[in-house]
Structure 1
Amino acid sequence: MVRGGRIDDDPCMNDPSIPIFRYVPHLLDESLVLESFRDGRLAGGARLAELERRVAKICGLSTGVCVSSVTSAVAMLAAGLDLARDDEVIMSPLAPASIAAGLRSRGVRLVFADVCPGTMNLDAARVEAAITPFTKAIVFSHTFGSSAGAPEVAKLAGRQEITLIEDVTEALGSRIADRPVGGFGRAALASMGPFSAIPSGSGGLVLSSDERLGAAVRAIRAGEASPLGMVAPVEAGWPSELCVALSLGQARRIEELREQRLQLAVSYMRRLMSTIGVVAPTVDNDEVAPHWSGILCRLEAGYTEEERDGVVRGMRIHEIEVAAPRRCVYNFALTESDPASCTVARSIAKRLIRLPFHLGMSSQDIEMVAQTLALMISRENLSRGG
């Protein structure tokens, strides 16, 4: 769907032949969801505590707090860290918009630092240049599953004595030199949304080894402490027990899922690397063991946002559900940051395409996606006379 000349942010289509996301049922997940259904507990059951422990352990941390959404998780973490109005937080323009929304609810001033063109993660040198006396935290998003650059930003944060928060939504279960992502900073955030490593529909987690911070966030969730300074209401609610059960089943078998998704990602990347006009995702660092929760490619430099949108529309017409991700780069109007300082991120964002990625895909599905992508790009080339 197109609104105002732009593709609708909602990627959902009515029963496409190849959906962008599809949960593949598993007996363990089904049994946990059924147990929750029969228990009659809508929230706060025994499975919640296990999910919090397991996800924290995946990140090499000791405590976790699960809430109704990742935006709520961000807002409550910010309150627990006592981030207040006009405190500055440095983040990537390619971070999920939910991260920005949660921080803005505290009145925090967002400062965007540009990214590395290869990894699409924060560039440590750009982050260092953005630090001021008002900088209180850095959010490192493992963008689209890539963890490259995290150790360098962590060293910078430690040297400057600035709180580092990791967004591990798209990389939960990844490791760098046998060190789990999520454990490089003081706290981490994870979503349970459709494009996360443990998707269930909704929910978010605050993860840390700081027991006092964990206790503060738990108190906010329970309504025992008010996040003073909140300038916009944020639901500090409990997650659905059914969503918790579904994510718990996947957290229990995170290594199995990581291996299965890795095989799918490798098949995808091999096929995309031969597709003219496409930059396929890569992992250049041998020390990084990624957990792919999605596949995003981008059109080569020189293609415009309008041409990218034309490719997306064409693929949808052919019943292949793809999306043009909307990230923080589109929210510059809500911040005081100068968008001109993030030219790499802005260029990349205009050419990104999220492709179908789920364990229900066959090799034939991957081939169909790649062929249709190539066809739509060739049509855009013809329309420009290229």
Structure 2
Amino acid sequence: MIPAARPEIGQDEIDAVVRVLRTGRVVQGPEVADFEQEFGKLVDGRACVAVNSGTSALHLSMLALGIGPGDEVVVPSFSFAATANAVAVTGAAPVFADIDPDTFCLDPESVASVITPRTVAIVPVHLFGHPAAMDELVPLAGRHGLAIVEDAAQAVAARLGDTPVGAFGDTACFSFYPTKNMHSLEGGMIVTGDPHLERKLRLLRNQGMLKQYENEVVGLNNRMTDVGAAVGRVQLAKLDAWTQRRRQIAARYDAELTSVRTPKVARDAWHVYHQYTITIEQDRDGFRERLAELGVGSGVYYPTPIHRLAPYSFSVADLPVTERAAETVLSLPVYPLLDDEQVGQVIEAVNSL
């Protein structure tokens, strides 16, 4: 069986972990600081604040922006629940907008239709590694005085035109979960171009302190470990080659898959293919089962839109494109560890169905 996803943990990562463990300095030390500096090169030199997960990155972004009870934040429903959860745990209300049927990212027209006087922010998700329509969402947010928090959990190294994902919003949030395009075992990164927000984020991730026992605000323990940061630094050095491999596999799928709808890429978008997501118009789940019988794993991201999940049952959102996507999407293996023979096996299996 070719698995749907597989984390990369090689000897370089193991050596980095052992090296840090032997120092005895394992939590938010020099490795974290170096990781932040090195990651900044991916996002036009913006400040980077390392945390313990992508969810923490989103949550702290909301807190740093002062978002809370009485506020509304526009989010897609076609995403992982963390996108909405990070809003809800502040006491603010996630308001769901529909997606573009080609990119699966927020539809700017749908976003505009749900903005109210209570709206304070938009959370564009760069889903599956495809950048959201920031060329439309940034001006829209500007006209309404709204903050932008980019959910870039799946889109490290993606870009729109010459601008990298992470350099558009007031903050941007990356995830380093093990199956992401790069990982730090578990972790996240918050990116911002605002020095005031950067300082607040650094306070919030460490119990409200920049100096030990000098608590300035009420904060949390969302620190990244030096062990995780060391892995992240190793992976960051490999990211360019891995991204090229993902794009190479995707290009072959584009050229050779004949029986399904393959993903579309918007003009000026640099897609990094965290997922290669096809569309199965009829009996997606049956197709997936038959694919597994042929030795090919796959994933459904996401089978239930967020606004249909129990915590958000209050929502009355009408999201037909989201509903259809949840019924028809299927993600094929696209990770760099796949060899050419395995890629061929995936293509042969899909086309045979």
Question: What is the TM-score normalised by the length of structure 1?
Answer: 0.82
2:239 pairs with 1:254: yes
- Answer yes or no: is 1:357 the counterpart of 2:326: no
Where has structure 1 moved over 6 Å in runs of 4 or more? Answer: none
Structure 1 counterpart of 2:252: 267
Following the alignment from structure 2 to structure 1, what is the Cα–Cα distance between the partners of residues 277 and 205? 34
Kept in 2, the 8 Å contact 1:151–1:184? The answer is: no
Paired letter, 2:222: G
State the distance in 2 between where 1:373 and 1:200 align: 32
- Note the residue ranges of structure 1 that are not aligned, 5 or more in a row: 1-16, 228-234, 379-386
Q: Secondary structure at the match of 2:77?
A: coil
Q: Is residue 351 of structure 2 the alignment partner of residue 366 of structure 1?
A: no
What is the distance in 1 between the residues matched to 2:12 and 2:274?
20
Normalising to structure 2: TM-score of the pair? 0.90
* AA matched with 1:352: V
Would you say how many aligned residue pairs link Structure 1 and Structure 2?
A: 343
| RMSD, aligned α-carbons | 2.1
Aligned pair 1:209/2:193, yes or no? Answer: yes
Amino acid at match of 1:265: A
* Matched residue type, 2:315: S
In the alignment, is the contact (CA less than 8 A) between 1:88 and 1:109 conserved in 2?
yes
Instruction: Look up the match of 1:56.
Output: 40
Alignment gaps of 5+ in structure 2:
209-216
8 Å CA contact retained: 2:80, 2:306:
no
> Given the alignment, which residue of 302, 306, 322 partners 1:326?
302
Return the match for 1:315 from 270, 291, 299: 291
2:233 is the counterpart of 1:243: no
CA offsets per residue over residues 160-186 of structure 1, 9 Å max, x none?
110011112222112222111111111
Q: Cα deviations across residues 30-60 of structure 1 (Å, max 9, x unaligned)? A: 4433322322333212111122222233122
1:355 Cα deviation from its structure 2 partner: 1.6
- CA drift of 1:97 comes to 1.4
* SS of structure 2 residue aligned to 1:110: strand
Q: Are the aligned partners of 2:176 and 2:183 in contact in 1 as well (CA < 8 Å)?
A: yes
Amino acid at match of 1:245: A
| Residue from 30, 34, 40 that aligns with 1:46 | 30
Identity of aligned residues (%): 26
Q: Does 1:132 align with 2:113?
A: no
| Distance in 2 of aligned mates of 1:34 and 1:270 | 43
Say whether 1:288 aligns with 2:280: no
Distance in 2 (CA, whole Å) between partners of 1:331 and 1:338 is 8
Which is further off, 158-167 or 237-246?
Answer: 237-246
CA distance in 2, matches of 1:159, 1:319: 51
Find the counterpart in structure 1 of residue 321 from structure 2: 344
- Counterpart among 64, 67, 70 of residue 80 in structure 1: 64
Question: Cα distance, 1:327 vs. partner?
Answer: 6.7
Q: Does 1:142 align with 2:120?
A: no
In structure 1, the residue corresponding to 2:104 is in which secondary structure? coil
CA shift, 1:329, in A, is 1.4
